[in-house]
Structure formats: C-alpha cells, structure tokens
Structure 1
Amino acid sequence: MDIRALRYFVETVRRASFTQAAEALYVTQSTISKMVRQLEDEIGAPLLIREARGVHTTDVGQIVYERGQEILAGMRRIALEVQETTGLVRGTLTVGIPPMVNLLFTPVVQRFRERYPAIDLQLREATGQGVERLVASGELEVGATILPADHPELVTQAFGDYPLWVVGPGRSPLRGRKTLPFAQLAELPLLMLDEDFALTRRLRQAFRSAGFTPKVATHSAHWDFLVSMASAGLGYAVLPDPLIKRLKTADMCLMRLVKPDLKWQVGHIWPRERYISHAARAWLEVCDEVMNDRSGTGAEPISS
C-alpha cells in the first residue's frame, strides 16, 4: 500500500473535500483524485462517495480511514524515534568489560553518561574470552578484551598497551631489582589467573614460545587475592600496569617483565558483519577521547 496515497485519502476524508485536501497538502486536486483512485484499485472497493456537496466514506472507506490514521500516526512515531536515535537522545547500548579492564573505563562511563544521559548504558562484566563470545553471538553490541581476540568474525581496535609486572613478597631475594627477564619465571612459583582470562592465555603462549612449563602454585579468578598471596610469600603474580598502580607496593617486590617486553594490549571488539548502532559509535568515540587524553594518541576511527 502506497503510504502517500493513504495520506492523501485520509486528508480528503478529514476535510470532506478534494479541493481542501489539495490545498492542505500543496498538490493539485487531480493528483489527490488520482492517488485515491489508485488506492481504491489496490483495495478492490470504492472508498469514497463523491457528491456535489463533498465526499464521505463508504463502509470499506471508513475502515481504511480509521486504520489509515493509525498507520500514519505509527509512521510519524517511527520518524521521530529514528530522529531521536540518530540524534542520540534515546536508545540502549550493551557493553561488555572484563574485570581487569574495568578500571580503565570509569572515566569513559562518566563522560558518556554526561554527554548522552538519555542512552540506557548497560554494562556486562565477564572475562575477556567471555566478552568475545557474547559479542560474537550478538548478546552484546560492543566490548573490550585483551588482544589478540580469538574470534575472527570480530573487528578489533587497540587503544592501550601496558607493561606487565611481577609482584612478589617484600622479603623476596629478588627485591631491589627493577626488571625480570621472562625466562626467569621458570624458576618461580607462579600465582595465575584462571584459564578463562586473556592474560593467562597470553602468558601460556609466551611460556610455550620460551620452551618451558611454569610452576603454577595456584589459580584464582580474583587478581586481588593473587596479590594477597604474593604478599604472604606464596608465590609471584604477573599483572598489568593499570592494576599495579592501584596497589600499595612499598612492602612488596615489584619488577617489570622484560626480554621479551610483553605487553597487555587492550582493545575494543564488535561484530564484523553486523550493523553498529549510533550509540555504539558514540561509545567508541568517547573511549577514544578519554584514552587519547591519557596517552596523547588516538585509535583509528571506526569505518562507516
């Protein structure tokens, strides 16, 4: 059904006149008449009774008029909602953030909510691999993870590289050293995050490349528990720079991991083959602004 023909018909019934409808719609009377005839042909029944004193609806025409008003009102609502969505004055955005990354996103969330208060920003916390699975499945629109991501169907955009640190007890014989070569991890009891963490996956790859199997004292899903155990002398934890900056390290052994100089690379992910909403694009732009404020460098812009 032609929406324009329906609009012309509804306006004609409302004004009970082809002439007045044409004036209101800024078209010729013949255009109105032609479009109404087209609508009648499509429906297969007369819609108007045409008389010298004006027009009024047939029984079928009355149904089309009433339902047509609803359809046109719905179209106006669609146009308004689209305008509000593209203008970022409404909408919902679901974002996945790993627990070890969430510290980086506090100022991002603050700035996004200040700038787009009408957007319903829903944050979902999961491990890096968990966020990747949720974004790949479409349950989340965008997310953050530790790169490289495991899913080839995801687009990645790096926004930060951070050094890794080895955290041990204050009474460690290694205390006083500023760096620790990666190969020396083979000699230490390690306190590692669970296997579902992207950092653990990255370290496992590095262990294999270096040709040794680490001595893992324990695993945990909580980095602060690993720090507590390291402080108690139960082993050494390998953690990224953003977490280290939160610690009180005066009574701990702290060494930057070198040779190779492994990095904890954090990045955005979103589906390669799915539409990215205006709200998601705004989120990525705000992230880039905040990270740029911190580092002085920005990420490559998302393509349209």
Structure 2
Amino acid sequence: MNLRTLRVFVEVVRQGGFSQAAEVVSLTQSSVSKAVRTLEDELGTPLLNRIGHKSELTAAGEIAYRRALVLLAERNDLIAEINELRDLKGGTLRIGLPPVGSGVLFAEMFATYRSRYPMVNIELIEHGSKKLCECLEAGEVDLAALLIPIDETFAYQEVRNEPLVVVLPSAHSLSRRKRMNFSDLADSPFILFDEGFALNALIMAACDRRGIVPRVTARSGQIDFIADLVAAGLGVAFLPRMLAQKHKHAGIALVPLEEPHTDWNIALAWRAGAHLPPAAMAWLDLAKELR
C-alpha cells in the first residue's frame, strides 16, 4: 500500500467517479481504475460499488476512506515539518560550549542567530573539553567548541586563534617585561584551570618541553577568581589575550607569552561523517561570517 494509491482512491470518492478523479490526479481513467483495484486486492475486499458512471463506498470503503484521509494528512504534515526545518522555521540547535571564553566569543553570535532564526530552539550545555568530547561522541550535541588539536574522529571549523598572555601580580619582579617564556617562570607558582580544561594540557605540554615541573598552588574554572588570586599574590596564570584584557584590573599585569604551540585556537567540532541538521549548519555559516 502506498500513499499515491490512497490519494487516487480518495479522489475517486471525493469526485464521485473515476473519470472525474482522473482529471484531478492527472492520470488516465484506466490508471485510476487499476490503482483502486490494486488497493482492493491488497485489502482483500471491495471498497466501491460501481453504479453506472458513479461509485459508492462499501462498508470497508468507508473505513479505508476515513483512514486514508488521516494518512494523507500525516504525510502533508510531515512534508510541512521537514520544510520548516529546512527553512529554519523550527528545529533545535544543540551546542556545547566551554565555560572559559564562551561569553566573549559567542554572545554576539547567539544574539544574531536568535534574531535571524527566532523559531529555532537552542539547547546549550557548558562543560570542560573532555566532557564536551564525550557529549559529542554520544550524540548529545551536534556541535561543540573545542581547542585545537582535535581528535581525528571529529571534523571542525576554526573560530578564533589567540596567543596566551601571562597574568602576574602588578608587584611581580617580571611584570614589566615585554615578553617571557616558561623558563622565565620556572620558580613562580602556577594557577591553572580546573581538571578537564584543555588549556591546562597546552600549558603542561609546553612546560614539559622546557623541562619544567611547575608548582600548582590553585585551580579554578572562573576567570574572575583566577585574576583575583593572581592579584592576591598566590601565583601566575595564563589566559588567552582577549580574555585577559577583558578581565584586567589594577592588581594584575599582562605580559605576552612567547612559547611555541600554546595558542588558544578554538574551533566548532562535530562527529566526522555525521549529518548536521540545518540549525547546526546555519550556526557554522554564521561563525564563518562573523570570524
């Protein structure tokens, strides 16, 4: 049983005959008759009583007609919903973002996206990089903002590349330096982000290349708190330049970090080979536009 056959049958009933229905569905009268016979053979019972040039429903035909109307209406609703999804008049954007830097990077994007696609529902989760990768692998989100390098199981589109700066207490002996590397900071205690934040891995890998084992005195997931801990003299921290400048205050100094392979290079990632819904594709297009 197919929907095309059901539509022919419904039109025969609506139009009161085969020749009239043939005009509506753009088929020959013999094709219309064959379609109805096929449906009757499939159901194992006559659906129409042929009386001259007119046709009347049998009891089974009444049931088939009522059910066919429902199925055809569902088909039309299905097409309308798919079209709405394609035209972004519906659907859901499921995106995962890290707590660090998302406001600076994505707040404007969210506002623009919402103004363009007000009918799209946005589901946002915030986690560190490790948890975001797990959510992406599990299909819980369509897109996630991750730091490069990114596992080869994911495809990605770059969003922003920022160098790191060293955040020091204003009174620190190195606070007036033009630039520095991790060797200069070998004796300074470090303040890092919480476990699971990808930025920590960049910092620790660079220290390892220098043969330095830093002494970590504190960890936090909040940039404001990290800046305050630095100002209080607890240690030095490392932030992407755009975030450090946003949180700069009188108690801290910012010095560029001259260290290879430590840039904060953030991208939007998705499962390689996965079908991205239109809402996610529109987000990627907007990210490219605003980059």
TM-score normalized by the length of structure 2: 0.95
Partner of 2:198: 198
Partner of 1:244: 244
Query: Could you tell me how far apart the structure 1 residues matched to 2:277 and 2:225 are?
Result: 38
Asked if 2 retains the 8 angstrom alpha-carbon contact of 1:174 and 1:253, the reply is: no
- Residue 53 of structure 1 deviates from its aligned partner by 5.2
Partner of 2:135: 134
- Residue 168 of structure 1 deviates from its aligned partner by 1.2
- Number of residue equivalences: 290
1:250-270 deviations in Å (ceiling 9; x for gaps): 442211111336201100111
Instruction: Give structure 2 stretches of 5+ with no counterpart.
Output: none
Write the letter of the residue equivalent to 2:120.
I
Q: 2:88 is paired with a residue of what secondary structure?
A: coil
Partner of 2:279: 279
Query: Could you tell me how far apart the structure 2 residues matched to 1:248 and 1:265 are?
Result: 21
Equivalent residue runs for 1:92-171 within 5 Å: 92-102=92-102, 103-149=104-150, 151-171=151-171
Asked if 2 retains the 8 angstrom alpha-carbon contact of 1:186 and 1:214, the reply is: yes
Query: Could you tell me how far apart the structure 2 residues matched to 1:245 and 1:166 are?
Result: 11
Equivalent residue runs for 1:1-304 within 5 Å: 1-52=1-52, 54-102=54-102, 103-149=104-150, 151-260=151-260, 262-291=262-291
1:217-252 deviations in Å (ceiling 9; x for gaps): 111222221110100111101111121121234442
Query: Could you tell me how far apart the structure 1 residues matched to 2:133 and 2:88 are?
Result: 26
Asked if 1 retains the 8 angstrom alpha-carbon contact of 2:206 and 2:259, the reply is: no
Asked if 1 retains the 8 angstrom alpha-carbon contact of 2:206 and 2:261, the reply is: no
Q: 1:261 to 1:273 in 2, by over 3 A?
A: closer
- Residue 139 of structure 1 deviates from its aligned partner by 0.4
- Residue 165 of structure 1 deviates from its aligned partner by 0.8
State, as a whole percentage, how many aligned pairs show the same letter: 36
Q: 2:186 is paired with a residue of what secondary structure?
A: helix
Query: Could you tell me how far apart the structure 1 residues matched to 2:254 and 2:53 are?
Result: 94
1:110-139 deviations in Å (ceiling 9; x for gaps): 111111111112221111222221111100
Partner of 1:301: none
Return 35-44 or 65-74, whichever deviates more: 35-44
Query: Could you tell me how far apart the structure 1 residues matched to 2:194 and 2:210 are?
Result: 21
Q: CA RMSD in A?
A: 1.5
Q: 1:85 to 1:261 in 2, by over 3 A?
A: closer
Q: 1:62 to 1:206 in 2, by over 3 A?
A: same
Instruction: Give structure 1 stretches of 5+ with no counterpart.
Output: 292-304
1:73-109 deviations in Å (ceiling 9; x for gaps): 0001111111111111111111111111312001111
Query: Could you tell me how far apart the structure 2 residues matched to 1:47 and 1:261 are?
Result: 75
Q: 2:270 is paired with a residue of what secondary structure?
A: strand
Asked if 1 retains the 8 angstrom alpha-carbon contact of 2:202 and 2:261, the reply is: no
